Structure 1
Amino acid sequence: GGVGSAAVQLGRAAGARVIAVVGGPAKARTAKALGADLVVDRRERDFVAAVKEATDGHGADVVFDPVGGEAYTGSTRCIAFEGRIVVVGFAAGQVPTPALNHALVKNYAILGLHWGLYNTHDPRAVRTAHDELTRLAEQGVLRPLVSARVPLASASDAVSRVAAGLSTGRIAVLGD
């Protein structure tokens, strides 16, 4: 989706080895085209095993989780020692209830990231991030992915596609 496609590109820009976990072949193709080093379709393969294999058992140092539910639970099984799970949403519709004893035993951090709160609590961070993202886009490092442009009359259909996980990037709704 739009958030995941941005995460792949930002991870690459930061110099990370990016393992993208996706739902379906279209999203797999998109993640690979955006530069993911490894793409795992969670509908076809156990992503926990794939992450452990790809990292020689070390696990992921950072997990970016916009999905929640079973994806979050799996992330706790493949997070590295002193890793960090960044929770940014619950697209699966299930809000996880972290087992803090598990985080303690495996020594990982869980970070909630609600970007909208920065407008109130740290607007300077919003401006700084915007400037940096704009610079990266101008350099061609980031390419915002717009998978479809639809007229305003089709906005409800577009929202339904995003909610169902059927989009592979942002859907732009155009005014009349």
Structure 2
Amino acid sequence: APSEMCIRDSLQRGETLLVHAAAGGVGSAAVQLGKAAGAQVIGVVGGPDKAAVARELGCDLVIDRRSEDIVAAVKEATGGRGADVVYDPVGGDAYAKSAKCVAFEGRILVVGFASGVIPTPALNHALVKNYSVVGLHWGLYNTKDPAAVRACHEELTKLAEQGVVKPLISERVTMAGAADAVQRVADGTSTGRIVVLPGGAR
């Protein structure tokens, strides 16, 4: 739902969306929603296995942050303009790179800090480049605007029924394997979502 809320309100058809952690749980949703909105989607991943997943999700361009220069690749892909919208659930260095390749009047959507490092944006940079930094704390909508939560749920359900979006589930584990699964997510080695099955469910 955070992906849907951010992208629905921020992205216009024909714009370029840059998604960090594009093979992850929220990133994979952002990629699919970006494509559904008619955007050119650039996915940033860590490693060739995740790059393959991002391509399968529909990314028009995949950048491996471990072996490629994110800023140069985004600038080249956009003819020097940069990304109109950046979806950042990572923070840290990902945010720093985003600020260097966001377009004039672009938007950086701050969704989380999976890297463990909370960036400190230089507001003078936002001023001279005319871009916005937009935060999203999804839980606040439950108290501030619960109707938005219902609307997002309805819209996402409709997109799922139409086959426009499909949650990426990389594996299913039993409750006994839950701790290891959480550790893989924390280590950044997982892709998509890992489903924990209660009891003996399959």
TM range (shorter): over 0.9
Specify the alignment match of 1:97 in structure 2: 120
Measured in 2, the distance between the counterparts of 1:121 and 1:93 equals 27
* Percentage identity across paired residues of the two chains: 72
The alignment status of 1:37 with 2:60, answered yes or no, reads: yes
TM-score if structure 2 supplies the norm length? 0.86
Residues 16-165 of structure 1 mapped to structure 2, 5 A cutoff: 16-165=39-188
Measured in 2, the distance between the counterparts of 1:147 and 1:11 equals 21
Partner of 1:89, secondary structure, is: coil
TM-score if structure 1 supplies the norm length? 0.99
**In the TM superposition, what whole-angstrom CA distance separates every residue of 1:29-83 from its partner, at most 9, and x where no partner exists?**
1110010000000001011100000000000000000000001000000000000
Specify the alignment match of 1:168 in structure 2: 191
- Work out whether residues 26 and 168 of structure 1, in 8 Å CA contact, stay in contact via their aligned partners in 2: no
4+ residue runs over 4 A deviation: none
Instruction: State the superposition RMSD in angstroms.
Output: 0.6
CA drift at 1:116: 1.5
Aligned residues: 176
Measured in 2, the distance between the counterparts of 1:80 and 1:97 equals 20
Gaps of 5+ in 1: none
Residues 6-17 of structure 1 mapped to structure 2, 5 A cutoff: 6-17=29-40
Partner of 1:21, secondary structure, is: strand
Between 115-124 and 11-20, the greater mean CA deviation after superposition: 115-124
CA drift at 1:28: 0.7
Measured in 2, the distance between the counterparts of 1:120 and 1:161 equals 32
Gaps of 5+ in 2: 1-23
Partner of 1:18, secondary structure, is: strand
CA drift at 1:94: 0.3
CA drift at 1:25: 1.2
Measured in 2, the distance between the counterparts of 1:109 and 1:155 equals 38
- Work out whether residues 65 and 72 of structure 1, in 8 Å CA contact, stay in contact via their aligned partners in 2: yes
Measured in 2, the distance between the counterparts of 1:154 and 1:118 equals 32
**In the TM superposition, what whole-angstrom CA distance separates every residue of 1:139-168 from its partner, at most 9, and x where no partner exists?**
000010110100001111111111111111
Measured in 2, the distance between the counterparts of 1:72 and 1:50 equals 16
Measured in 2, the distance between the counterparts of 1:123 and 1:34 equals 30
